[in-house]
Structure formats: C-alpha cells, structure tokens
Amino acid sequence: MFSLEEFIELASSAYQHLYDFVYLRKHPLTGALDPETAASDKERGWQLHNLLLDLIKELYPGPHAPPYSKAWRRHQLMMLRYVDGLEPQQVADQLAVSRRQYYREHGAAIEAIASILWNSYQEKGDEATRTLLQDEIDRIDRHEAYANLNQVVEGVVSLLSVTLAERHIQLDVQIPHSIPLVIIGHNLLRQVLLGVLGFLIEDLNQTRLALQATMTNGEIHLDIRAEPDLALSPDLVAGRIEPFQKMLHLRKAGLGALEADRQVVGFRLKLPGDQRASVLVVDDNEDMLALYDRYLTANHYQVLRANSGEVAIEMAIQLQPSLVILDLMMPDQDGWEVLRSLSTNPATGHIPILICSVLKQRELALTLGATAFLEKPVTEAGLLAVLDTLEHE
C-alpha cells in the first residue's frame, strides 16, 4: 500500500516523463491504479499517459472562477506545461509569475492531482480510473465543436519532438491550407492523433512518417503511413485503436487501418469538415451574438461566438476564421485592444476584421487595423452587403 506522500512523489515523476511512453510502461502508478488489468505493458503506459492528461482537466475550476485565482492559475499552469508543452519559464511568463512562484503552484497542483489519484486508489479502485477517460470525452464533446487540423498536427508534433528525434524519425506533413475546420473538438482530436502516432513510433527507428490530408465528398481523410511500409498484425491493431475509434464515434468521425497483403500499413482518420466560411463574432451582449448567429447562419456562414476579448484572441489563433466581427465596447479587454492584438499578431494579421459599434469612429478603426466598419444597429441587409464586398476584395 502506498501512502499519500508516496503518491505525490509518484505523480510528480510521472508528469516529468509524461511523453516518455517507454518509461510510463513500468511506472509504479500503472500497477497501483489498475493491478488486475490484462493490458500489455505498452497499453498500460498509454492508459497512464491518458489518465494524467485527464486529471489536469479535473483541476478546471469552472467558467465562473475569477481569472488568476489560485484554482484558475494552477489549472492553467498544468495545461500550459503538460498539454501545450511549454517550458517552465515560458509558463511563468504566460501567467505573469516568478519562477519561484511557478514551482510553488506546480507543487500544489501535483498534490491536488495526487489526492484525486489517492482517493481513487483507496475507495474506487479499477472502476474509478477506467471511467475517468469516458467522462472527459463526454465533457470535451459537449464544449468543443471545431478544430484547425494544421494546428492540431503542429501541436502533436511539438509534443512528440523529443521522441521523434531520439528515434531518427522524420515527418512529412502535407495538409493543404484549403482544408476546412474539422467538426470535432481540438483536444479530442489531439488525443487521438497522439495515440495513433505514439502507437506507430513505439517500434520504429530511422524511418519516415507521412501525414497527408485530402478532401473526399466533404469529408477530410488524414492518412498516416510509415515509409518504408510497416507491417502490423490486424488483430494487434484492432485492440490498440478501439479506444480512439470510440472517441471519434462521439463526433461522427472514424479511424480505420490501411491494409496491404493482409497486414496493416497505416491508418486513415475520417473527419467531418465544415466547408462554410467561418465568422468569429465577438460581443459581450448575448442578444447581439444571437442576432448575428441568426443573420449569418441563414446565409450559410459558420458562426463562432466569443463573449470576451481573451476568448476571441485564442479562438482566432486556433480556428483561423474567414472573418472577425468585433464590438468595441466590452468589459475587461475592450475592442480596441483586441483589434490591436489581432491585427499585429502574425498568426491572425491576415484575417479581415469588421468593426460593428455604436461608436462613430470609422476612420480611427480603419487606421488601427480594421478592414471595414459598420455602425450599430446592424441590419441583415447591411451586414451581408459588407460581407459581400469583403469577399470580392
């Protein structure tokens, strides 16, 4: 039996090696949390990896938690460090804390997660740990709708970069920028890609992996192959990809094996794509968001909604909408700050920005980076006229 103090040390060491799948196979937590499982060592390592990521999300304090409160900061710290893969100093800079405070908050977060693990170990055993992943899939499925495939792949490659370099594996990624948004959550898609790529590279050395995305009848196909071809047993593959197939099924997506001569030579993800032009609407007024939604949806636009500047900037970077509609008068971070941030950021500077405001400051808005200006109240005809002009410029 482990003590709580030992669980804290075990959790800390597991997070230090979160993306070292060989190390996780033999980690003491794999046996402590699921001692009777029939899973192989490789599968146990992946189960522990997924569980550790899920537990970070268990720290989420909810949408109403004050920004920069202790609970909010600890969750953000763990997300930035272990999900986004930032270094400690980068995380400290993002959270505007000292390096010393970063380590204090990190230790507190590890203790909180270890307590969750300890309670599971003491009271629920196998059943609790097996249900954590399913609960998190349900939660992600409810709150995330779209993902930018290029950005998801970039993030996954970054997280696996050390392992790829150690094994001398080169990646050839071919995802056209014309590929539309994927109608599946960013985090859920990332988990699947991490699982599939992690499975492939476990036994590969000095080879090349090719990822190629194409559109077929409105569906995105992402093929993953090793060159030269690998040859895996279909029975082995079926058991390993089943959890990811279940994840994707929640969003009407699919994962299958590519076969040749009765051997698996790669994988194909079939992802639903949204081919409509996407418009990110930024307004703190829920009635205005609903109005824009009604106008735009009826005219075959895909509507993305943000009720704060911080959320809008994050969504614009991640989802790369075709257009941003921005209100100027918002609490916390006003529209002027958001306009400056979006127009000067290399990741979003190319996205047209339509300012919709009661403020009669057209010239100032255009000078500061806006593409067009529309005075409120906004009518459907007026909005569509501006959008039509922007599409033809």
pLDDT, one tens digit per residue, over 281-298 is 999 888 899 899 889 887
Res 128: pLDDT: 46
What per-residue confidence (pLDDT) applies to 383? 93
139: confidence class by pLDDT, cuts 50, 70, 90: low
Which pLDDT band, with edges at 50, 70 and 90, does 385 fall under? very high
Six token digits for residue 76 = 């953000």
- pLDDT in the model for residue 129: 42
Tokens found for residue 249: 């099924």
* Phi, psi of 330, rounded to the nearest 5 degrees: -135, 150
Q: Return the CATH number of 278-391, one of 3.40.50.300, 3.30.1330.10, 3.40.50.2300, 3.50.50.60.
A: 3.40.50.2300
Would you state the pLDDT for residue 62?
84
Q: Which of 226, 230, 187, 189 is nearest to 208 (CA)?
A: 226
**What's the pLDDT at 132?**
53
Show me where the domains of the chain are located: 4-143, 149-274, 278-391
pLDDT value at position 130? 45
What pLDDT shows up at residue 12?
A: 93
Task: Of 252, 250, 254, 230, give the one whose Cα is nearest residue 241.
Answer: 254
Indicate the average pLDDT of the chain.
85
- Helix axes 41-58 and 4-16, enclosed angle (nearest 10): 100
- Residue with token string 């898609």: 189
The reported pLDDT for the residue numbered 39 is 66
| 375, 357 contact by CB (below 8 A) | yes
150-199 pLDDT per residue, tens: 889 999 999 999 889 998 999 999 998 778 888 888 888 998 999 899 88
pLDDT of residue 109: 94
pLDDT tens readout for residues 67-88? 888 899 999 999 999 998 899 9
H or E stretch at 169? none
pLDDT for residue 58: 87
330-358 burial, b at 16+ Cβ within 10 Å, e below that, comes to beeeebbebbebbbeeeebeebbbbbbbe
d(CA 227, CA 377): 58
Q: Same CATH topology for 149-274 and 278-391?
A: no
Q: What is the per-residue pLDDT for 329?
A: 87
How many angstroms separate the CA atoms of 58 and 113, rounded? 8
Dist CA 106 CA 351 (whole Å): 36
pLDDT in tens, 24-58: 888 888 876 664 455 677 788 888 898 899 899 88
pLDDT single digits (tens) 314-344 = 889 888 899 999 999 887 778 899 999 999 9
Strand, coil or helix: what is 320?
Answer: coil
CB 289 within 8 A of CB 279: no
Q: Which helix (H) or strand (E) holds 284?
A: none
Q: What is the separation of C-alpha 37 from the centre of its chain, rounded to a whole number of angstroms?
A: 29
pLDDT at 87: 92
**In 3D, which of 314, 308, 368 has the Cα closest to residue 343?**
368
Number of C-beta neighbours around residue 62 at 10 A: 8
pLDDT of residue 386 exceeding 60: yes
**What residues contact residue 123 under an 8 Å CB cut-off, 6+ apart?**
none
Q: What is the pLDDT of residue 43?
A: 80
Question: How far from 381 is each of 196, 305, 360, 363, CA to CA, in Å?
Answer: 47, 21, 20, 22
Judge: domain 149-274, CATH 3.30.565.10.
yes
What whole-number distance in Å separates Cα of residue 225 and Cα of residue 200?
9
**Phi, psi of 237, deg, nearest 5:** -65, -40
Euclidean distance between the first and the last CA atom of the chain, given in angstroms as a whole number: 68
Residue 125 banded pLDDT, cuts 50, 70, 90: very low
* C-alpha–C-alpha distance, residues 262 and 234, integer Å: 8
* pLDDT at site 248: 84
Q: Say if residue 368's pLDDT is above 60.
A: yes
The larger pLDDT score, comparing residue 137 to residue 299, is at: 299
